Chains A and B, each alone.
Chain A
Amino acid sequence: MKNSKLVTLPIIFILVVSMLLIGCSNESTSSNSNSRDKNEEKVVLKLMRPGTVDVVRDIFEPMVADFEKQNPNIDVEIVDLGWGEYDQRLATMIATKTNPDVQLVSQGYLFSYASKGAYLPLDDFIDDELKGQITDTLWEAGRYNEKIYEVPATPGADMIWYNKELFKKAGLDPNKPPQTWDELIEYAQQITDKTGVPGLGMAGKAFSDIWNTFATIYQSKSGKPLYDEKSQTFNFDDSVGEESLQLMVDIVNDHKITQPNITEYTRGDLRTLFRDGQVGMLIDAPFIISALKTSIDIDSPDTFVGTAVVPKEENGSQPFFGADGWAISSNTKHPEEAWKLLRFLVNTENQYTHGVKYGFGPAQKDVAAKPNYQKPYWQTAVKSLDTGFSRMKSENFISLDKILVEMVQAAITGNATPKEAIDKAVEANKSLK
């Protein structure tokens, strides 16, 4: 009797566990089907705008409420995601086909993933009004393999940010920013020598920022973008490329006009130094504005903040720019509704609110005409966008990003000569094919 109990007990246990599991799974299926029935007439869309969660929600919750009011058959859920975990989470979302319907995509990642079919081409959705609102340069930034995958929304080109007070102390004219790269070095040297404050902030930490500066120098010197989309090769594999990288090396090591220990700094860290008057000049995009506004009034007529387009060479000022934009996931079951939401988010008012609260340049002509964008620094930002080249268009963008970071870091830390660093990057790009 006792023995038979011992035999039957484990069997009963397994049966009970199995039944419980089956029960649970049935329950969840039925609850799913119930909720499906309830929401049959409602479309639920997921919206993702990576960034600081509080700021994102502050901007988008009211917009979503308005959208839902205008479209009672559509519910919108906001998905929170910080930039810090963006690359991992996005890759996982795409791999598991849980990519939100409508999302702001980092431009470089867009090309990597669009090439794998993760995003819908938007050409058939884009109306003439929207087409006319956005400049060709910006549309080009979101075009890949002849198709448009994003509606550009957060453009920002490199420009010069300089401290007028330090200019005055160094005996420079605060209304005459540097016009050439040589002048930029000369001014930075003067600020360093006369005020003791480093004349130019330079990022050297292993982040994308460091090759953005190289791109800006190279593009202005060569008049070419960093990367050739058709041949999928680096354009800087030439004497101008070497000269541009050498210029960065000289700025850091020979002229000694940057803050010390550059490998500790990203552009984000430098923004704080500039805000606190601890560097004379920076090359940075308008994303710096929100960092400056935390403790100084840059809109005051007495502000120490001055701006200028990046130095010109023979080909003019051709800065690097990024333009993340709104895209629609190819997993969406409701492309029409997703476009409706996307279109709503980029109408003039919403685009303006998004831009002003988050701190990026105007992507649309009507938005650029709004009062906020008439301020001097925004005017420089708009001008910079007109002549810039955007990020590399390649399905290998994320790998290229790493290759360029390693190239610039190796050169500026003296681990390789500019020629060696460029050769290594070119070889690494070849191995990606």
Chain B
Amino acid sequence: VKGKMQINEDVLSLSINKKNHNLKRFKKVIQPLLFLLPSIILLSAVYLIPILNVAKLSFADATMIEGFKQWVGFKNFTYLIKPEFLASLWKTLIWLVSTVGISLIIGLAISLLLNKPIPGRPIFRTIVILPWLFPEALIAVMWLWTIHSHYGFLNNILIKLGIIDTGVNFLSTSLAFITVIVIRIWRDIPFVVMSLMAGLQTIPHEIEEAAEMDGAVGFKKIWYITLPLLKPIILTCTLILSAWTLIIFDMVYILTGGGPNNATKILSILMYDTAFSKFDFGLTSAMAIVTLLMVSIIGAFYLRNLRNQEK
């Protein structure tokens, strides 16, 4: 009887252990999934379904009005090796590297300057972030007025200063691309300044003081102390700006419409034209997939950077 009781106890204890194990497994694996389920459903509806739809259309003959017509395999992707697309892709890469690179350099210089206890610092800080407060479309119209060769404020100042004799057409075939890049940089700088200034506030004074005692002053201090400590924020800024810059449309479209002579036809403008002039949603989707891949690669770097920061 005693032995039987012992066996029963063992079975009971095994059963309890198994139950506890199952419960632990449930808590560890299934319970978080249950908590995440509403978000997963919501995100799937908002992001995944449209992305899958775009992926589907990229292999199809589809128009905006008629929707999906038939499967065409990789036909839409063959356009992606044509000169028109490659020229636009090349322009987009130049646009991306120059706007992000120069915004970071100027933004860093301004944030270092505004981090010093200079008189009127709050006013300067407010002025610097102003471009960030206006909508893209408004900025485009404002710049159109500013740079116009006939009635633009900028040309009038340059003429009055004797730098030029007649108004410069900043949106001519040769200058339009540079002009939109400069305007984009003007727009991006506040974001860099705000991010880097927040980062500068987190650098402990003790480190800076110790560096100064060791003889690291001026540029040396920036190069060996400030920049390494700001590196994670600079990287984050670069990645976010890059993703944004790749999908910019309205500002460039209002300024130039992609012209003159396709001088400013970056990918987003080419996609818009293909979708709304040719109504070719299959081809537009193929281009969108390429852009998505580019943004995803940037996103992957961003996530890796975030993880490294957490470590």
Contact: B31 with A10, CB < 8 Å?
yes
Q: A11-B34, A95-B65 are in contact. Are A264 and B171 (CB under 8 A)?
A: yes
Contact: B273 with A264, CB < 8 Å?
no
Contact: A7 with B261, CB < 8 Å?
no
Q: How far is the CA of A78 from the CA of B256 in the complex (A)?
A: 32
Contact: B257 with A205, CB < 8 Å?
yes
Q: How far is the CA of A273 from the CA of B148 in the complex (A)?
A: 13
Chain B interface residues (CB < 8 Å from chain A): 23, 26-27, 31, 34-35, 37-38, 63-67, 148-150, 166-167, 169, 171-173, 256-262, 273, 276-279
Q: How far is the CA of A11 from the CA of B35 in the complex (A)?
A: 9
A196 at the interface (CB under 8 A from B): no
Contact: B64 with A91, CB < 8 Å?
yes
Contact: B260 with A206, CB < 8 Å?
yes
**B66 to chain A: closest residue by CB:** A116
Contact: A263 with B259, CB < 8 Å?
yes
Q: How far is the CA of A415 from the CA of B259 in the complex (A)?
A: 12
Contact: A95 with B276, CB < 8 Å?
no
Chain A interface residues (CB < 8 Å from chain B): 3, 6-7, 10-11, 13-14, 17, 87-88, 91, 94-95, 112-113, 116, 118, 204-207, 259-261, 263-264, 273, 398-399, 401-402, 405-406, 409-410, 413, 415, 432
Contacts of A263 in B (CB 8 A): 169, 171-173, 259-260
Contact: B169 with A264, CB < 8 Å?
yes
- Taking a contact as CB atoms closer than 8 A, the residue among B34, B63, B150, B259 that contacts A10 in the complex is B34
Q: How far is the CA of A13 from the CA of B149 in the complex (A)?
A: 62
Least CB distance from B168 to A in Å reads 8
**B67 to chain A: closest residue by CB:** A95
Least CB distance from A362 to B in Å reads 32
Contact: A6 with B31, CB < 8 Å?
yes
- Taking a contact as CB atoms closer than 8 A, the residue among A88, A260, A406 that contacts B169 in the complex is A260
Contact: B38 with A415, CB < 8 Å?
no
Contact: B37 with A14, CB < 8 Å?
yes
- Taking a contact as CB atoms closer than 8 A, the residue among A3, A113, A205 that contacts B27 in the complex is A3
Q: A14-B34, A95-B64 are in contact. Are A261 and B149 (CB under 8 A)?
A: yes
- Taking a contact as CB atoms closer than 8 A, the residue among A17, A87, A206, A413 that contacts B38 in the complex is A17
Contact: A7 with B149, CB < 8 Å?
no
Q: How far is the CA of A6 from the CA of B262 in the complex (A)?
A: 60
**A92 to chain B: closest residue by CB:** B64
Q: How far is the CA of A13 from the CA of B279 in the complex (A)?
A: 44
Q: How far is the CA of A128 from the CA of B209 in the complex (A)?
A: 93
- Taking a contact as CB atoms closer than 8 A, the residue among A113, A205, A401 that contacts B259 in the complex is A205
Contact: B65 with A413, CB < 8 Å?
no
- Taking a contact as CB atoms closer than 8 A, the residue among B26, B27, B31, B148 that contacts A264 in the complex is B148
Contact: A406 with B261, CB < 8 Å?
yes
Q: A206-B258, A263-B260 are in contact. Are A113 and B173 (CB under 8 A)?
A: no
Q: How far is the CA of A94 from the CA of B167 in the complex (A)?
A: 44
Contact: A264 with B149, CB < 8 Å?
yes
Q: A261-B172, A263-B171, A263-B173 are in contact. Are A91 and B261 (CB under 8 A)?
A: no
**B168 to chain A: closest residue by CB:** A261
Contacts of A14 in B (CB 8 A): 34, 37-38
Q: A113-B65, A264-B149 are in contact. Are A7 and B169 (CB under 8 A)?
A: no
Contacts of A207 in B (CB 8 A): 257
**A401 to chain B: closest residue by CB:** B277
Contact: A415 with B23, CB < 8 Å?
no
Q: A14-B37, A91-B276 are in contact. Are A260 and B27 (CB under 8 A)?
A: no
Q: A6-B27, A259-B150, A399-B277 are in contact. Are A409 and B261 (CB under 8 A)?
A: yes
**A204 to chain B: closest residue by CB:** B260
Least CB distance from B82 to A in Å reads 11
Least CB distance from B112 to A in Å reads 38
Contact: B65 with A87, CB < 8 Å?
no
Least CB distance from B244 to A in Å reads 21
- 18 A-B pairs whose Cβ atoms sit less than 8 Å apart in the complex: A3-B27, A14-B34, A95-B65, A95-B67, A112-B279, A118-B65, A204-B260, A206-B257, A207-B257, A260-B149, A260-B169, A261-B150, A263-B173, A263-B259, A264-B150, A399-B278, A405-B259, A413-B261
Contacts of A205 in B (CB 8 A): 257, 259-260
Contacts of B276 in A (CB 8 A): 87-88, 91, 398
Least CB distance from A62 to B in Å reads 32
**Besides the known contacts A207-B257, A401-B277, A409-B259, 18 further A-B residue pairs in the complex with CB atoms under 8 A apart:** A7-B26, A10-B35, A13-B38, A14-B34, A116-B63, A116-B66, A118-B65, A206-B257, A260-B149, A260-B169, A261-B149, A263-B259, A264-B171, A273-B150, A399-B277, A399-B278, A406-B261, A410-B261
**A113 to chain B: closest residue by CB:** B65
Contacts of B257 in A (CB 8 A): 205-207
Of all A-B residue pairs in the complex, the 6 with the closest CB atoms, nearest first, are A206-B259, A261-B169, A10-B34, A206-B257, A261-B149, A116-B65
Contacts of B278 in A (CB 8 A): 398-399, 432
Least CB distance from B37 to A in Å reads 6
Contacts of B262 in A (CB 8 A): 406
Q: How far is the CA of A398 from the CA of B274 in the complex (A)?
A: 11
Least CB distance from A395 to B in Å reads 10
Contacts of B23 in A (CB 8 A): 3
Least CB distance from A295 to B in Å reads 15
Least CB distance from A282 to B in Å reads 15
Least CB distance from A261 to B in Å reads 4
